[in-house]
Amino acid sequence: MRQLQAIQLLHSHCRTAPPVFSKRDLEVLMPHAKRQSFDATLRRLVDSGVLVRAAYGIYVNALSPTGHGSVLDQIARALRRSHHSYVSLESALSRHGVISEVPMRLTLMTTGRSGEFDTPYGTIEFTHTTRSVNAILEGTVHFDAPLRFAKKWMAYQDLKHVGRNLDLVDHEALHDDDWH
Protein backbone atom coordinates (compact mmCIF):
# COMPACT_ATOMS: atom_id res chain seq x y z
CA MET A 1 0.00 0.00 0.00
CA ARG A 2 1.28 3.44 -0.85
CA GLN A 3 1.96 5.78 2.03
CA LEU A 4 -0.52 8.38 0.75
CA GLN A 5 -3.29 5.76 0.61
CA ALA A 6 -2.47 4.66 4.16
CA ILE A 7 -2.55 8.26 5.41
CA GLN A 8 -5.93 8.82 3.75
CA LEU A 9 -7.29 5.63 5.35
CA LEU A 10 -6.01 6.64 8.78
CA HIS A 11 -7.40 10.15 8.39
CA SER A 12 -10.87 8.98 7.38
CA HIS A 13 -10.94 6.39 10.19
CA CYS A 14 -9.93 8.88 12.88
CA ARG A 15 -12.79 11.25 12.09
CA THR A 16 -15.12 8.82 13.86
CA ALA A 17 -12.81 6.77 16.08
CA PRO A 18 -9.92 7.36 18.49
CA PRO A 19 -6.46 7.79 16.95
CA VAL A 20 -4.95 4.85 18.86
CA PHE A 21 -4.51 1.52 17.09
CA SER A 22 -3.18 -1.90 17.93
CA LYS A 23 -1.09 -3.53 15.23
CA ARG A 24 -4.02 -5.87 14.58
CA ASP A 25 -6.35 -2.87 14.10
CA LEU A 26 -3.98 -1.53 11.45
CA GLU A 27 -3.78 -4.93 9.73
CA VAL A 28 -7.57 -4.91 9.40
CA LEU A 29 -7.68 -1.27 8.28
CA MET A 30 -4.89 -1.73 5.71
CA PRO A 31 -5.11 -5.25 4.32
CA HIS A 32 -2.09 -6.44 2.37
CA ALA A 33 -1.50 -9.50 0.28
CA LYS A 34 1.78 -10.20 2.04
CA ARG A 35 2.97 -9.70 5.60
CA GLN A 36 6.22 -8.06 4.46
CA SER A 37 4.23 -5.42 2.57
CA PHE A 38 2.22 -4.51 5.70
CA ASP A 39 5.36 -4.39 7.85
CA ALA A 40 7.07 -2.13 5.29
CA THR A 41 4.06 0.23 5.20
CA LEU A 42 3.93 0.33 8.99
CA ARG A 43 7.67 1.07 9.18
CA ARG A 44 7.34 3.90 6.61
CA LEU A 45 4.42 5.45 8.52
CA VAL A 46 6.42 5.37 11.77
CA ASP A 47 9.61 6.66 10.13
CA SER A 48 7.73 9.56 8.51
CA GLY A 49 6.04 10.53 11.78
CA VAL A 50 2.50 9.74 10.63
CA LEU A 51 2.24 7.02 13.28
CA VAL A 52 3.90 7.18 16.69
CA ARG A 53 4.86 3.88 18.32
CA ALA A 54 3.42 4.41 21.82
CA ALA A 55 4.14 0.93 23.19
CA TYR A 56 4.81 -2.52 21.80
CA GLY A 57 2.08 -3.12 19.23
CA ILE A 58 0.27 0.19 19.94
CA TYR A 59 0.37 3.16 17.56
CA VAL A 60 -1.03 6.69 17.60
CA ASN A 61 -2.02 8.57 14.47
CA ALA A 62 -0.02 11.80 14.92
CA LEU A 63 -2.12 13.59 12.29
CA SER A 64 -5.43 12.94 14.03
CA PRO A 65 -7.30 15.46 16.11
CA THR A 66 -7.41 14.34 19.75
CA GLY A 67 -11.11 14.86 20.34
CA HIS A 68 -11.72 11.37 21.74
CA GLY A 69 -10.41 11.82 25.29
CA SER A 70 -6.87 11.69 26.58
CA VAL A 71 -4.44 9.90 24.26
CA LEU A 72 -2.79 8.35 27.33
CA ASP A 73 -6.17 6.95 28.45
CA GLN A 74 -6.72 5.54 24.97
CA ILE A 75 -3.29 3.91 24.96
CA ALA A 76 -4.02 2.35 28.36
CA ARG A 77 -7.31 0.99 27.07
CA ALA A 78 -5.60 -0.47 24.00
CA LEU A 79 -2.90 -2.11 26.15
CA ARG A 80 -5.48 -3.98 28.25
CA ARG A 81 -8.32 -4.19 25.73
CA SER A 82 -9.52 -7.65 26.75
CA HIS A 83 -9.54 -6.84 30.49
CA HIS A 84 -11.44 -4.51 32.79
CA SER A 85 -9.32 -1.51 33.75
CA TYR A 86 -10.15 1.71 35.54
CA VAL A 87 -8.32 4.85 36.67
CA SER A 88 -7.65 4.53 40.40
CA LEU A 89 -5.00 4.95 43.11
CA GLU A 90 -3.14 8.28 43.02
CA SER A 91 -4.57 9.38 39.65
CA ALA A 92 -8.18 9.06 40.81
CA LEU A 93 -7.54 10.48 44.27
CA SER A 94 -5.77 13.49 42.77
CA ARG A 95 -8.69 14.17 40.41
CA HIS A 96 -11.09 13.84 43.37
CA GLY A 97 -9.01 16.39 45.32
CA VAL A 98 -8.13 13.89 48.07
CA ILE A 99 -4.39 14.22 47.49
CA SER A 100 -2.87 17.55 46.52
CA GLU A 101 -0.08 16.15 44.37
CA VAL A 102 -0.61 15.49 40.68
CA PRO A 103 0.85 12.07 39.87
CA MET A 104 3.51 11.87 37.20
CA ARG A 105 1.85 8.77 35.75
CA LEU A 106 -1.57 7.39 34.96
CA THR A 107 -2.36 4.76 37.62
CA LEU A 108 -4.94 2.10 36.88
CA MET A 109 -6.30 -1.09 38.35
CA THR A 110 -6.83 -3.96 35.92
CA THR A 111 -8.06 -7.53 35.85
CA GLY A 112 -5.09 -8.14 33.54
CA ARG A 113 -1.40 -8.24 34.37
CA SER A 114 0.38 -5.55 36.34
CA GLY A 115 2.90 -3.58 34.34
CA GLU A 116 4.42 -0.22 33.58
CA PHE A 117 4.64 1.37 30.15
CA ASP A 118 6.69 4.44 29.28
CA THR A 119 5.12 6.08 26.24
CA PRO A 120 5.87 9.34 24.41
CA TYR A 121 2.65 10.64 26.03
CA GLY A 122 3.47 9.69 29.63
CA THR A 123 3.82 6.66 31.89
CA ILE A 124 1.00 4.17 32.43
CA GLU A 125 1.03 1.92 35.48
CA PHE A 126 -1.33 -1.06 35.75
CA THR A 127 -1.86 -2.82 39.08
CA HIS A 128 -3.69 -6.16 39.09
CA THR A 129 -6.98 -6.42 40.95
CA THR A 130 -9.07 -9.46 41.84
CA ARG A 131 -12.26 -7.40 42.12
CA SER A 132 -15.23 -8.87 40.30
CA VAL A 133 -16.69 -7.13 37.27
CA ASN A 134 -19.79 -6.23 39.33
CA ALA A 135 -17.62 -4.69 42.07
CA ILE A 136 -15.71 -2.70 39.45
CA LEU A 137 -18.93 -1.42 37.88
CA GLU A 138 -20.36 -0.47 41.29
CA GLY A 139 -17.21 1.36 42.37
CA THR A 140 -16.54 3.27 39.16
CA VAL A 141 -18.21 5.85 36.97
CA HIS A 142 -18.08 6.30 33.24
CA PHE A 143 -17.54 9.83 31.98
CA ASP A 144 -17.14 10.79 28.35
CA ALA A 145 -13.73 9.09 28.36
CA PRO A 146 -12.22 5.80 27.24
CA LEU A 147 -11.76 4.46 30.79
CA ARG A 148 -13.95 4.05 33.82
CA PHE A 149 -12.99 6.14 36.84
CA ALA A 150 -12.88 4.92 40.45
CA LYS A 151 -15.16 6.60 42.93
CA LYS A 152 -13.33 8.24 45.81
CA TRP A 153 -13.93 5.40 48.29
CA MET A 154 -12.84 2.71 45.86
CA ALA A 155 -9.64 4.54 44.85
CA TYR A 156 -8.77 4.86 48.55
CA GLN A 157 -9.50 1.17 49.19
CA ASP A 158 -7.30 0.25 46.21
CA LEU A 159 -4.50 2.47 47.53
CA LYS A 160 -4.65 0.80 50.95
CA HIS A 161 -4.98 -2.71 49.50
CA VAL A 162 -1.86 -2.45 47.35
CA GLY A 163 0.15 -0.93 50.20
CA ARG A 164 0.81 2.50 48.72
CA ASN A 165 1.78 5.58 50.74
CA LEU A 166 -1.24 7.09 52.54
CA ASP A 167 0.62 10.14 53.91
CA LEU A 168 -0.64 12.49 51.18
CA VAL A 169 -4.31 11.59 51.70
CA ASP A 170 -6.54 14.37 53.05
CA HIS A 171 -8.79 12.20 55.24
CA GLU A 172 -11.39 14.96 55.64
CA ALA A 173 -11.78 15.21 51.85
CA LEU A 174 -12.36 11.45 51.71
CA HIS A 175 -15.65 11.57 53.55
CA ASP A 176 -17.65 14.08 51.55
CA ASP A 177 -20.14 13.20 48.78
CA ASP A 178 -19.60 9.68 47.34
CA TRP A 179 -18.19 7.94 50.42
CA HIS A 180 -20.23 4.97 51.65
Domains and CATH numbers, the chain: 3-61 (1.10.10), 71-174 (no CATH)
Whole-number average pLDDT of the chain: 86
Tell me the C-alpha distance between 21 and 6, whole Å: 13
CA dist list (Å): 116 to 73, 102, 125: 14, 18, 4
Q: Are 41 and 1 in contact (CB under 8 A)?
A: yes
For the segment 156-164, the average pLDDT, to the nearest whole number, is 93
User: How do residues 63-82 score in pLDDT, each as one tens digit?
Assistant: 776 654 588 999 999 999 99
Would you say 152 and 139 are in contact if contact means Cβ atoms under 8 Å apart?
no
